[in-house]
Amino acid sequence: MPERTQAALYSQIDLDLSWSEDQLPQVERTKHVHGLHPYLGKFIPQLVDVFLRRYFKPGDCVYDPFVGSGTTLVEADSFGVSGLGCDISAFNCLLARVKTARHSPGALEMALRVAYEDSSHLLDEVNDDLATVWLRQWYAPRALRELLAYRAAANRLDGPIREVAHVILSRSARSARLTTHFDLDFPRRPITHPYYCHKHKRTCAPVDEAGKFLRRYTTDASDRIRAFASERRSADSTVLHEDSRTVRLPVKPSGIITSPPYPGLIDYHEQHRYAYELLGLVDRRIEEIGPAARGTGRSALTDYQDSMVAVLLNAREQMDCGSPVIIVVNDSRSLYPEILGRSGLHVDDVLTRHVNRRTGRRAGEFYESVLVCRVA
């Protein structure tokens, strides 16, 4: 069978929601605070911007019941609508709060630099024997001491600035783990000896320090927050560390823009295990919807549908009739017709977008659906 042309493949998709690499390079997809910390499974900010312009107006309030890394809230602030986000993951909530908090960029930069400098003076004071077993397994002794010293310095900071430092600590911890350079997303076990690196095409050694990452990400975080400050508007954002199946929202949303977890794909707590271990965050992984650990068996998929219905019903009860509900999914198992039907949402349209579209070649046929619904 002859291979279909790119034009044929894209004839049925919404081109306003699909971009080539030349049209939308990574530097734009991770602009300002969107690139503050790596996060698997987030949708690109330009997608949210399209939905805001199509279905919302300045002064509205957009709700994301799976706030994740805060993409919806950041774009809402840029557009001029208030944002309301909820997530079961304490780390996700931390990251979303940091991205949307209001800072004096100059004062923030100075405080973060002082914290980094102070951490070098605390190296002899930290006791890595008090670190968790997991931390001692996944970090070289020098790296662990540097992380613990920076944590001590960060904890001396006040409120929102301390949270920025905690994100810097988390990002540095992700990079400083005893793993291969090509397996940062899903490392399976600590690597303590030199290995052949598929990323660099040579023999590499495991990372044995964290200081260089702390220094680099301190500067990067300051620059990203300063860049976002210049384009944000006066809209407010609220992040709730709650279960979106039962949460009572403090304000009535005008609508929803969200990308729910895909069943059996990612364990969101385990993805950021280093942050939970270092920061002592509350672990609520047993309440995750559709975690990879549950798999995709019949029982897991039924539980996923029931949970998604509960999320959407709970949100629907707190919104006006006719409110838009925009859901980005890859519904390869056709779970959402039943979910939306049971949730009392009317489907106005189903749009198709190509993911990771590249110039001049197909690069695979992975698509997402955009379910454009409204509260019935």
pLDDT digit string, tens, across residues 185-221: 888 899 999 999 988 889 999 999 999 999 999 999 9
Q: Within the chain, which residue ranges are assigned CATH 3.40.50.150?
A: 6-89+235-269+296-375
The pLDDT assigned to 7 comes to: 56
Helix (H, G, I), strand (E, B) or coil at 59: coil
Is residue 112's pLDDT more than 90? yes
Q: What is the mean pLDDT of the segment spanning 217-228?
A: 97
Is residue 3's pLDDT more than 60? no
Does pTM surpass 0.85? yes
Render pLDDT for 46-68 as a digit per residue (tens, 0 to 9): 999 999 999 999 999 999 999 99
Q: What is the mean pLDDT of the segment spanning 357-361?
A: 41
Amino acid (one-letter) located at 12: Q
Render pLDDT for 265-315 as a digit per residue (tens, 0 to 9): 999 999 999 999 999 999 999 999 999 999 999 999 999 999 999 999 999
Is residue 248's pLDDT more than 60? yes
Render pLDDT for 9-36 as a digit per residue (tens, 0 to 9): 555 667 677 776 777 778 888 889 999 9
Render pLDDT for 123-152 as a digit per residue (tens, 0 to 9): 999 998 889 999 999 999 999 999 999 999
What residue ranges in the chain does DSSP mark as E strands?
A: 61-64, 82-86, 195-197, 202-204, 237-240, 255-258, 324-329, 345-354, 367-375
Q: Does domain 6-89+235-269+296-375 have CATH number 3.40.50.150?
A: yes
The model's confidence at residue 233, banded by pLDDT at 50, 70 and 90, is confident
Q: What does the buried/exposed string (b/e) look like for 47-79 if buried means 16 or more CB atoms within 10 Å of the residue's CB? A: bbebbbeebbeeebbbbbbbbbbbbbbbbbbbb
- C-alpha 349/C-alpha 366 separation (Å) is 20
DSSP string, 32-51: GGGGSS--TTPPPHHHHHHH
55 versus 361: the higher-pLDDT residue is: 55
